[in-house]
């Protein structure tokens, strides 16, 4: 089944404790991206990647890191999480670019205490 998977789905952590949210797609997509969803603000793009080893900042990259060492994986790293990063996070992928249909993962709900 074609899908985007994210892990974990739910995470409660404390300020400053490094964490990684994994994202994997099995559709051989080139474009992958991370969003955070906050009430009233819709989805805001954190980082995106046009292909392996090519990443770029979105609207709200501060406090986040990403890497794209393999085509299928695009982990989101929070080196020192803070409470303002409490949010719902979505990973998405598409065939080539942001102008193609995005396929979204199920979401990761992160709480930083």
What the block records as the tokens of 15 is 């300020």
Query: In the set 90, 93, 110, 112, which binds other proteins (CB under 8 A)?
Result: 90
- Measured from the CB atom, is 1 or 42 closer to other proteins? 42
Residue 21 is a binding residue for other proteins (CB under 8 A)? no
SS (HEC) of the chain: CCCEEEECCEEEECCCCCEEEEEEECCCCCEEEEEEEECCCEEEEEEEEEECCEEEECCCCCCCEECCCCCCECCEEECCCCHHHCEEEEEEEECCCCCCCCEECCCEEEEEC
Counting contacts by CB under 8 A, is residue 24 touching other proteins? no
x/- mask, other proteins, residues 54-83, rule CB under 8 A, reads ----xx------------------------
Least Å from the CB of residue 33 to other proteins: 7
Q: Which residues bind other proteins (CB under 8 A)?
A: 4, 33, 35, 40-45, 48, 50, 58-59, 90, 92, 97-99, 101-102, 104-107
């Amino acid at each position: 089944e074609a899908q985007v998977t994210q892990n974990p789905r739910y995470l409660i952590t404390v300020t400053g404790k490094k964490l990684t949210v994994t994202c994997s797609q099995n559709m051989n997509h080139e474009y992958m991206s991370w969003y955070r969803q906050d009430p009233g603000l819709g989805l805001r793009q954190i980082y995106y990647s046009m292909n392996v080893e090519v990443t770029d900042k979105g609207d709200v990259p501060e406090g986040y890191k990403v890497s794209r060492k393999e085509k299928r994986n695009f982990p989101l790293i929070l080196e020192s999480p803070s409470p303002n990063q409490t949010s719902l996070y979505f990973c998405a992928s598409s065939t080539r670019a942001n102008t193609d249909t995005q396929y979204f993962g199920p979401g990761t709900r992160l709480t930083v205490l």
